[in-house]
Amino acid sequence: MNRILRKEMLAKDIFLLEVKNSYIARNFKAGQFVILRVDKRGERIPLTVVEHTMDTITLVFLKVGKTTNKLASLSVGDKIENLLGPLGNPIDVPYEKNTVFVGGGVGTAAMIEKIRAFREKNNRITSIIGAKSKEYIIFEKEIKEISDETYVTTDDGTYGRKGFVTEVLEEILKRGGIDEVVAVGPTIMMKVVSEVTKKYGIKTIVSLNPIMVDGTGMCGSCRVIVGGKQRFACVDGPCFDGHMVDWESLLRRISSYRELESVAVEKGGDEGKEG
């Protein structure tokens, strides 16, 4: 269990790992996630399952902190110490609707299982994916294969259309006929998507990624404010109504440990030493 069967570098600092875990693979539903610990002394981090077979799950992550540096240093044949899941609630899937999926950066990978679940219920899918530049675009081919329409944007214009995913989204919404929007990606992107769709009264589902530790609602680190009430992303989410999320509160929380994370990376580095 938890042995790495495949490893790929998809883009700069973005890695894919296919891991053997039959229990999670057979019980996983679109929208859920896992929590892993690289080694016995490591911290616990949540990751979205990108794809699954009957025996394996595929994870995609950005090498940005101490733990993801450790994870990126593993090779095919290595084992991840702990892998817990599936956690959280599956995304609610409507029938025969026109749905727009919006993905940014690594969040594009998390669209795949969700789109497949929506297609199984005869939803028409329009996908918009974006990144900083061409070198950061991932899973374009896979997204196109399972979408009816696909748009690609880059901030610097090096590939696809120059600009942001939200600009394309607004153009699509102006044409009408859209029933629902699903956004997965950086928090600030999901916030702006929700602001755009709110103007048009379009239902919007976002997949939140706050700081998370135990995945059971006990630690409280993933608390978010939704509809004026405290919720825990790990057990009440991770999918929520984007129009109900207190985005300013969430943005403050996810930035609260950045300085400590930088210190941990400096002490641990890519060598995976404990700080």
pLDDT higher than 90, residue 261: no
Predicted pLDDT at 245: 97
Residue range 5-10: mean pLDDT, rounded? 96
List C-alpha distances in Å: 184 to 2, 114, 127, 252: 26, 10, 11, 19
> Residue 210's pLDDT band (boundaries 50, 70, 90)?
confident
pLDDT higher than 80, residue 174: yes
Share of the chain above pLDDT 70, in %: 93
> Residue 264's pLDDT band (boundaries 50, 70, 90)?
low
pLDDT higher than 50, residue 272: no
Predicted TM-score (pTM) of this structure: 0.91
Backbone angles phi, psi at 81, to 5 degrees: -60, -55
Nearest to 163 by CA among 129, 135, 140: 129
Q: Which residues of 52-69 are buried (b: 16+ CB within 10 A; e: fewer)?
A: beeebbbbbbbbebbbbb
Report pLDDT digits (tens) over 51-106: 999 999 999 999 988 899 999 999 999 999 999 999 999 999 999 999 999 999 99
Residue range 4-14: mean pLDDT, rounded? 95
Predicted pLDDT at 274: 29
* The amino acid at 73: S
Q: Please state, rounded to an integer, the average pLDDT across all residues of the chain.
A: 92
Report pLDDT digits (tens) over 183-202: 999 999 999 999 999 999 99
pLDDT higher than 90, residue 180: yes
CB count in 10 Å sphere of residue 261: 13
| Strand boundaries in the chain, DSSP class E | 4-11, 14-20, 33-37, 44-52, 56-62, 82-87, 98-104, 124-131, 149-154, 161-162, 180-184, 203-207, 223-226, 229-232, 239-241
Report pLDDT digits (tens) over 101-135: 999 999 999 999 999 999 999 999 999 999 999 99
> Residue 208's pLDDT band (boundaries 50, 70, 90)?
very high
pLDDT higher than 60, residue 20: yes
Check if the beta carbon of residue 189 is closer than 8 Å to that of residue 207: no
Report pLDDT digits (tens) over 134-163: 999 999 999 999 999 999 999 999 999 999
| Burial class of residue 145, CB neighbours in 10 A (0-12, 13-18, 19+) | exposed
Domains in the chain: ranges and CATH: 4-87 (2.40.30.10), 98-254 (3.40.50.80)
Nearest to 147 by CA among 182, 175, 177, 171: 182
> Residue 238's pLDDT band (boundaries 50, 70, 90)?
very high
